[in-house]
Homo-oligomer: A and B are copies of this chain.
Amino acid sequence: MGLTKTQIFNVEQNELAVIFKVLSNPARIAILQYISRQDACICNDIVDEIGLAQPTISQHLKELKSIDLIRGEIEGKKVCYCINLPKWTAIQDLLNSFFNTTKSNCC
């Protein structure tokens, strides 16, 4: 097993689950917080800031990019990552909608 049966759930349920999964790791939370704290984009000082190996950080960044939560712009040999604000807000709205709808008809 180990395989989530996505086919038995609807698009909204699967989409929410994917978003929550991307956010379900403290390293990725820390990366998002660090990227946002540098008010301009930053590069792989992330590796120094967070205590994880460079390939590990790179992989986390890839997962954050997979749902478009951050964007990476190549600047010479460096890459500057920043929060994708429109998507960030859209996801916040989606999650609030889930929380509100679920809460509204509750015992």
Contacts and interface: CB of A to CB of B under 8 A. Distances in A.
A41 B107 contact: yes
A82 B99 contact: no
A12 to B, nearest CB: 8
B13 A30 contact: yes
Interface residues of A, number: 48
A46 interface: no
Contact of A26 (B6, B52, B89, B104): B6
Interface of A: 4-6, 8-9, 13-14, 16-17, 20-21, 23-30, 32-33, 36-37, 39-41, 50-52, 82-83, 85, 88-89, 91-92, 95-96, 98-107
